[in-house]
Structure 1
Amino acid sequence: MSNRQTVVYRKDYKAPNHDVETINLVFDLIPDRTIVTSTMHVVPREGRESDEFELNGESLQLVSIKINGQPSLTNQYAMNAGKLIFHSIKEPTDIEIVTRINPKANLELSGLYLSNNNFITQCEAEGFRRITYFPNRPDVLAKYTVTLHAPKECKVLLSNGNLVDQGVLPDGRKYAIWHDPFPKPSYLFALVAGNFTVNEDKIELNNDKTALLQIYTEPGNENKTVHAMDCLKKAIRWDEVRYGLTLDLERFMIVATNDFNMGAMENKGLNIFNAKYVLADDGVATDSDYAAIESVIGHEYFHNWTGDRVTCRDWFQLSLKEGLTVFREQEFASDMLGSESAKVVKRIKDVRALRTAQFPEDSGPMAHPIRPDSYSEINNFYTMTVYEKGAEVVRMYQTMFGKEGFKKGLAEYLRRYDGSAATCDDFRTAMAEANDADLSQFALWYSQAGTPRVSVKTQWDESKKTFTITTRQSNRTLPGQPKPQPLMIPLAVGVLNDKGEDIPLQLEGEPLPVGTTRVLLLNQDVQTWTLVNVDRRPLLSLGRGFSAPVICDMDLTRDQLVFLAKNDSDLFNRAEAFEKLSILAIDAFIQELRKTQNANSLSPMEAYLATFEEILNDERLSPAYRAEILKLPSEQAIYESQIIIEPALIRAACQAMQKKIGQRLKTSFEDKVKTCTTEGIYKYDPDLAGKRALKFLSLSYLVASGNPKGVQQTRNFFEKGNNITDKLGALSIAVHSGLPIRQEMLNKSSIAWATEPLLINKWLEVQALATSVHGEMPVVNKIRSLMMDPLFSIKNPNNVYSLLRTFFAKGGPEFHTLDGSGYQLWIETVLNIDSFNPQVSARLARTLENWRRYEPRLSSMMYKALRYVSQQKNLSADLREIVDKAINEPI
């Protein structure tokens, strides 16, 4: 494990002195002593600064070196702090390096490791240096030929590209040779060897070629890959139709494993996936799992062009591939849905995730631009900012130029940089030139951290029939950063008249209206637009479709929010207005609880309840849309609306609110449980999934209200449900509501699900979100007990994320206890896991990074916990960076 604390700066980037044109890798795969022979053809670059050829290595045992076929001499190279440096490489040179590694002992799951006795690799960001010595940077692209030698028990031997040959060696061992015709950086290298079964299919491509599609899983899971295969074919076809991008290899492979630090990895032609994003049937996957598989399969496939064929020059450009590909994934997933209101659900969910995770990141100690200026440990920059905010920045190009303009810009970018390593500026320039636009100011989105705020004021002049919109943008100055400059912000707006109708939008000086939604381009601190021919009282619909990743401030009364929630033609903005109403209502409960500790006398405002009921019963809206919009805001979303976070008070207010709504709208909820119950054999379909979502939303309100019928229905769905969506939905309601039947249901689940890792993780996650019941064991003690359960393994990232990260991030008052027991568990877990898997420990540690925002009693204990961890010796670089930034952030 490396605990280096070197800070890398973007301004210090220098092009490599040498290229590696080809690399031949031979693996003699033995669990505890794999031999790797690497033969590189190294070519000096013109204009290089040095003749020294520098390679990275970590946890390697060097066996031998040959230069141009001859054993090397000690004066030809030097070893220095994880680097192997060859002197005086002035002409094309062949270098052979033999190393020995121990996959069996690799618990970091970075490089080459064992998962259930299968060989698996994970090389992004810097895992390849744990396999062999190599210039482990993304701007060194080589063509790979890989030969695998493995025990005869290994049924499958895979690597990137196309299969050249396979067979049996004289000693009975197996071999396979793979060649990737496309140059790629080392982080996209992949190797899989072991006991797998395969689901195969073929697809006819638009170029009249046929590609073989293969999804590999451990034996017994092959029937759970039907949905994943269908998603892969949809993604391939969608990319052909939407962007004209076609699969460029003879085959495309996916491998599913249960031991993986990430969700999935886009290695060229050989994607390796966390099994949770591949395996699905009615016994292991919920409707949400089916949707997530579709998104992740699409994401990794789309990387084939935006990440593989064109990669990033250095790790500061990470959002170049990730932000762009997340955007493409979001567009794909939306296009796969049914009605327009169902499609909007995808957008609502994405924006809610951004606001509850990325916005806090943007205002905390880990705040950074989507293209950071420095890092200590690159693994810590696989963040919501790089991915999700990065996707929103890419989306703004489409908002400004339209779908066709964006397509032109993407095509130009790929034409210019295919087969090379590019930068965020390269992408922006291609977009600008393809659309004949000046995007120099837009570059600030890549260099400024923080979430911009846009305050909006409007004025209607009835006599002149004009409606004036004035915007003012601002952004907080971050420690050590220059004062932010005005950004280029596309803000989509509409205007409703007092009948709830969209009016044609005609700016002063324009001859004719231009539609009922238009994009205002903000590029100054303060700007004003005047609409003409506005003859009825107007109300602005602001930021339609969430057209930019900003916080919009506009003073709206409750009546105006109710009006928008009922009438806005932009369904995203209807959801926005209703969520703001919900937060206002919850805040009223919080204020009452702060004064009296009793919310029984309080009820949500009548207009809110009437709007809630109207939306619930509006059959013109898809069930999926109604289920999403009528959820109470998550506790994390409410945290963002508060100056000081008080988890216990917020939990109590939410529970009181849910109870009141359940009591008031009992009849409507009972009707939805009945009418949205799907009969017959389970089938995943977006429309049916929407019905099930509305059913369980309604049931959760009924149970929260104390409705005996709701409690019985919860038991029935658990016991009689023929799919995991029903069973898990009922179990979640029982556990989160503290129903007496919950332990019986948990016990039955643990027995029925014990042999299925995907279900065990769901079982763990449900309990991580449990609510304490008076007189029973505190939830934190239950978490400790679950950590001792044979079904849980601290070495398995999925187990850790399901139980511990969920508890630390979303456990609310059950984690943030006044006795500090939750923080003590956090300390022990973070330090334990850091000893063998720094990536996972750092992700757990981030759950306390915004400690300053909590009430004083909690923030003091959180600070002490962070301080205690920071004072320990031998922390990994990953964890060290997180805790030090959290503690040392200036106020």
Structure 2
Amino acid sequence: CQQWGFERLVPCIDEMTAKCTYRTTIIADSRYTHMISNGDIAIPRHRLAKGHPFSYASRFLHPHSDAEERDSITYENTTTPMAPYLFFLCVGTYDSFQRRFEYPSGTSFLLELLCPPGSDQIRAEQALDILEDAILWVYLFTGPHCYEQVEIRHEIYRLHNKAVKLRKCGADDEDLLRITRRMALLDQELVGGYIYTGSVYREIGIQNSNFGGMENVGNTTISTNRLMPFAGMTDSGFEYLMRVKLHEYYHNLNGSEVTGETPFEIWLNEAVTVHIEQQYHAFHFGEEYSRLQMILSLLDPADGTFARDTGAAAMPIEPDGFNDPNDLITSVTYVKAPEFVRMVELILGKEPFVWALSLYHRKFAHANASRDDWISLMGSIAGMDLGPMAEGWLKRSGFPTVTVYPSYHPNDRSCTVRLLQSGGDPPWCFPFRLALMKADGTKIVSKCHLVQHAEEEIIFEDVDSPDYYSLNRGHSFYGLLDYHPDEALLYLQARTDPDIAGRFLAFHSLSSQEILHLMQDPGAAPSPDFIALYIDLLSDPELMEGAGAQILTIFEDAGDPAYAHHYLAAYHARRSLELAIATSHAPTLLALYRAYHQTDHTWDSIGGLAVFIRNRQVKNLCLRLLARLDTPEVHEIIKNQFRNSPVSTDRMHAFSLLIASTDPERLELFREMMDCARKDPVVWEQFLAATAGSDADDLVSLLREIEESGYLRIEQANDQRAFYGRFARNRKISIETEEGRSFLEDALLRLMDVNEYTTTGLLTTFSHIDRMDETTHIPLMDILANLLKRASSPTIQQSLKRIILGNPTALATYQSLKGPVPDLAL
């Protein structure tokens, strides 16, 4: 159930503060392998006599033939009262895979994975490996003492992994006993983090779900396509898999044992959990890679959190109202809110923060906590009132833009950094990390400054003159910088800044300048200096090993509001820039591609796989750049990877390049891929997303062919997200071309009657109409007005009204030509 969902099943007081006990009896067809609910088994599963009487209501709602064999089982959840939204009931047929998880102390509980019938046992065991790793990591590397005895914690982690591998190899019991005794001794020297209190922790695959996972107090549901590391899973899918397993498990503590008071505070359950999830990801993939991945998700001009947080559909983290609790399941809750938590951590410091978090979990164990409870507790540890900061970040949308004016004074060897923030009244409160840097990347001095006013100065005394300034290090605050140093300084910083956020922001500034230049003058040549920088960074093995090729992301972003949301023009500018890189450095790109191509692997560990994932990023970036040449020779390289690579990521990347090329076999390969993918739900989802996000000139005709194939299942949330959702975000086609708009409107009209959550998500595509080319205003408003006329769902109606009214310029133009849009009042 989602918040306020249980009341749709039974008459009850369905509030998050209504902690209830449950006695649940399930009666179902005997052929189902599993009948599950919350709590412990009170009456074991047993066969009912034929003709067993049901209640009158049950007979009315669910008539059964007396000839059917039925089983019954009763669960009781009475020890710890539970909020209704955590109620869970499952009847289905699954393959079950089990193992015991044992803490270093020797206490244990059962892990169970419920998978589709016929699932691969090896893949299921790998899924349990990942879950086991996440549970151990939570115990060792979270909690109030997690920064103490760090070497012992890592040694226990190493020994546990060694024991797991030896057990799989059928090692001698004495060898395993020696390891477990050693772990137990080491465990006595530290205080661990959260320990699961149940007897069984179960993950259950759910094929058709709006969400990746849902915690249900020991019965976690996870989207089946992300339940196990299937052979058809791409690298991004694997990263999501390991994140969601940790995320839902940690919800047992943060979200179930301690629950927000109302759905308005769903961020309180999610933000801290995502914060821990990100630390787990960084543990395996490295802090640079993990943090940069998050920064990219903020900055993406098409679908990033900053773009969503400024559009007509923007909502604050804690809104004053909503149509449905599902309205709160957005990037604001899962990205912006965790960034707020991260800012609080920066203010407190890492060790005080984990102490405060532990105190929060102890104080409100098996109870509800409000936003004020969390903020007050954090403030008491920080020694300051965090209430005004929280009010600003939680109750309004948007973010600060900070203009920076640094100056050095050689007479007294002081440096002043003046900050002016805009975007909020009262001003935003946030930590601002900065450093004065030498040309070789050596840090002169650094500081984390708490910004609380619209204008502030940061003064460094008795310091050498810096060669450049590294600002918003680690992306310390949720917002943007308005800082324009000389171009030479940006090139210097992009080459030498040891802070990955500062280094990328310098590169991003330079790439945005190139995009702007090419948008203003499409026939111009890209800068040779930028191309040289790009190749130098790509050729740096240490950088690629740490950050991955994602640091070389060139957004379709000119960095100028006047050119924002001109998607097709920005795409052509990026394409010209990448073509110039490929044309001038094709031999280098080919050599790098071949060097990184030798990275195919078999499963060993999460950390080992992380290395291969970063390597594949580099390889596939080189291939994408070479694909801009669109020559027969390059086509053959791409087809070779498509046909022969054993890794799904490589095959899917090659496929997306092929269908956007002029290769004469592209349509044949497209149909071949469709026929292959339809047999595997995981591959099918990847195929839909790769096609819908393609740059192919005939994209809409390809999408209509998929629709007409009979393989697309519009009722399936995975298909909706991968196909229609990915196409909607492909704005250069979906909303800037006539055939794209027609396809999108048709899709939305059908989806409105199938899934309102998916539909409202797709509607955010229209958030920035006012900032688009004026020629699009009438056709886009026409789509929204037509959808509003046809919509029956109050949630969809309200979302449409917010977006229409949030684009007043386009609305005025539309109404001046076509008359008023009826029923626009919110």
State TM-score, norm by structure 2.
0.85
2:660 maps to which residue? 736
Query: Could you tell me how far apart the structure 2 residues matched to 1:323 and 1:640 are?
Result: 31
Query: Could you tell me how far apart the structure 2 residues matched to 1:604 and 1:470 are?
Result: 33
Query: Could you tell me how far apart the structure 1 residues matched to 2:300 and 2:599 are?
Result: 32
Tell me, yes or no, if structure 1 residue 143 matches structure 2 residue 40.
no
205, 214, 220: which one aligns with 1:256 = 205
Determine helix, strand or coil for the equivalent of 1:182.
strand
Taking a change above 3 Å as real, the CA distance of residues 817 and 680 of structure 1, as seen in their structure-2 partners, is: closer
Taking a change above 3 Å as real, the CA distance of residues 687 and 771 of structure 1, as seen in their structure-2 partners, is: same
Q: What is the CA distance between 1:638 and its match in structure 2?
A: 5.3
Determine helix, strand or coil for the equivalent of 1:240.
helix
2:460 maps to which residue? 531
Query: Could you tell me how far apart the structure 2 residues matched to 1:239 and 1:626 are?
Result: 26
Determine helix, strand or coil for the equivalent of 2:81.
coil
1:66-81 alignment runs, 5 A limit: none
Amino acid at match of 2:4: E
Aligned-residue CA RMSD (Å): 2.1
Deviates more, 1:296-305 or 1:341-350: 341-350
1:767 maps to which residue? 691
Q: Does the 8 A contact of 2:430 with 2:450 survive in 1?
A: yes
1:888 maps to which residue? 805
2:483 maps to which residue? 554
Q: What is the CA distance between 1:583 and its match in structure 2?
A: 1.4
1:702 maps to which residue? 626
What whole-Å deviation, never above 9, does each CA across 1:687-707 have from its counterpart, x for those lacking one? 111111110100110111235
Query: Could you tell me how far apart the structure 2 residues matched to 1:608 and 1:617 are?
Result: 14
Query: Could you tell me how far apart the structure 2 residues matched to 1:378 and 1:671 are?
Result: 52
2:384 maps to which residue? 437
Q: Does the 8 A contact of 2:558 with 2:564 survive in 1?
A: no
Determine helix, strand or coil for the equivalent of 1:685.
helix
Query: Could you tell me how far apart the structure 2 residues matched to 1:640 and 1:153 are?
Result: 62
Determine helix, strand or coil for the equivalent of 2:101.
strand
1:628 maps to which residue? 550
Q: How many residues of Structure 1 are paired with residues of Structure 2 in the alignment?
A: 732
Q: Does the 8 A contact of 1:736 with 1:771 survive in 2?
A: yes
Q: Does the 8 A contact of 2:401 with 2:480 survive in 1?
A: yes
Tell me, yes or no, if structure 1 residue 467 matches structure 2 residue 415.
yes
1:380 maps to which residue? 327
2:520 maps to which residue? 591
789, 796, 805: which one aligns with 1:879 = 796
Tell me, yes or no, if structure 1 residue 419 matches structure 2 residue 318.
no
1:487 maps to which residue? 428
1:124-523 alignment runs, 5 A limit: 124-171=2-49, 172-180=69-77, 181-205=79-103, 208-223=106-121, 224-241=123-140, 242-243=142-143, 244-281=193-230, 283-338=231-286, 341-352=288-299, 356-443=303-390, 444-476=392-424, 484-503=425-444, 505=445, 517-523=446-452
Deviates more, 1:561-570 or 1:139-148: 139-148
Query: Could you tell me how far apart the structure 2 residues matched to 1:372 and 1:738 are?
Result: 48
Query: Could you tell me how far apart the structure 2 residues matched to 1:764 and 1:781 are?
Result: 14
2:811 maps to which residue? none
Q: Does the 8 A contact of 2:437 with 2:470 survive in 1?
A: yes
Q: Does the 8 A contact of 1:146 with 1:159 survive in 2?
A: yes
Amino acid at match of 2:236: S
Q: Does the 8 A contact of 1:624 with 1:694 survive in 2?
A: no
1:80 maps to which residue? none
Query: Could you tell me how far apart the structure 2 residues matched to 1:219 and 1:842 are?
Result: 34
Q: What is the CA distance between 1:345 and its match in structure 2?
A: 4.1
Taking a change above 3 Å as real, the CA distance of residues 185 and 222 of structure 1, as seen in their structure-2 partners, is: farther
2:771 maps to which residue? 853
Amino acid at match of 1:771: D
Query: Could you tell me how far apart the structure 1 residues matched to 2:558 and 2:131 are?
Result: 37
Taking a change above 3 Å as real, the CA distance of residues 166 and 850 of structure 1, as seen in their structure-2 partners, is: farther
Tell me, yes or no, if structure 1 residue 784 matches structure 2 residue 704.
yes
State TM-score, norm by structure 1.
0.79
Query: Could you tell me how far apart the structure 2 residues matched to 1:587 and 1:690 are?
Result: 29
Query: Could you tell me how far apart the structure 2 residues matched to 1:859 and 1:170 are?
Result: 64
Q: Does the 8 A contact of 2:278 with 2:290 survive in 1?
A: no
Q: What is the CA distance between 1:536 and its match in structure 2?
A: 2.8
770, 784, 802: which one aligns with 2:722 = 802
Determine helix, strand or coil for the equivalent of 1:213.
strand
Determine helix, strand or coil for the equivalent of 2:255.
coil
Tell me, yes or no, if structure 1 residue 814 matches structure 2 residue 738.
no
What whole-Å deviation, never above 9, does each CA across 1:702-753 have from its counterpart, x for those lacking one? 1112354432111111111112122112112212345433323222222322
642, 652, 658: which one aligns with 1:718 = 642
Query: Could you tell me how far apart the structure 1 residues matched to 2:599 and 2:472 are?
Result: 40
1:616-765 alignment runs, 5 A limit: 616-623=538-545, 625-633=547-555, 635=556, 642-678=562-598, 681-683=601-603, 685-765=609-689
Tell me, yes or no, if structure 1 residue 844 matches structure 2 residue 762.
yes
Query: Could you tell me how far apart the structure 2 residues matched to 1:673 and 1:219 are?
Result: 40
What whole-Å deviation, never above 9, does each CA across 1:470-499 have from its counterpart, x for those lacking one? 1112215xxxxxxx2122210111111244
1:609 maps to which residue? 531
Query: Could you tell me how far apart the structure 2 residues matched to 1:693 and 1:150 are?
Result: 48
Deviates more, 1:798-807 or 1:684-693: 684-693
2:59 maps to which residue? none
What whole-Å deviation, never above 9, does each CA across 1:856-880 have from its counterpart, x for those lacking one? 11122111111111123x5212211
Query: Could you tell me how far apart the structure 2 residues matched to 1:390 and 1:441 are?
Result: 16
2:164 maps to which residue? none
Query: Could you tell me how far apart the structure 1 residues matched to 2:332 and 2:349 are?
Result: 24
Q: What is the CA distance between 1:680 and its match in structure 2?
A: 5.8
Query: Could you tell me how far apart the structure 2 residues matched to 1:871 and 1:160 are?
Result: 43
Determine helix, strand or coil for the equivalent of 1:174.
strand
Taking a change above 3 Å as real, the CA distance of residues 693 and 660 of structure 1, as seen in their structure-2 partners, is: same
Q: What is the CA distance between 1:458 and its match in structure 2?
A: 0.6
Of Structure 1 and Structure 2, which has the larger fraction of its residues in strand? 1
Query: Could you tell me how far apart the structure 2 residues matched to 1:680 and 1:373 are?
Result: 51
Determine helix, strand or coil for the equivalent of 1:541.
strand
Q: Does the 8 A contact of 1:377 with 1:877 survive in 2?
A: no
Query: Could you tell me how far apart the structure 2 residues matched to 1:249 and 1:802 are?
Result: 36
Q: Does the 8 A contact of 1:408 with 1:435 survive in 2?
A: no
Determine helix, strand or coil for the equivalent of 2:651.
helix
Determine helix, strand or coil for the equivalent of 1:460.
strand
Q: Does the 8 A contact of 2:298 with 2:304 survive in 1?
A: no
Query: Could you tell me how far apart the structure 2 residues matched to 1:456 and 1:305 are?
Result: 41
Of Structure 1 and Structure 2, which has the larger fraction of its residues in helix? 2
Taking a change above 3 Å as real, the CA distance of residues 323 and 344 of structure 1, as seen in their structure-2 partners, is: closer
Determine helix, strand or coil for the equivalent of 2:82.
coil
Amino acid at match of 2:237: D
Determine helix, strand or coil for the equivalent of 1:418.
coil
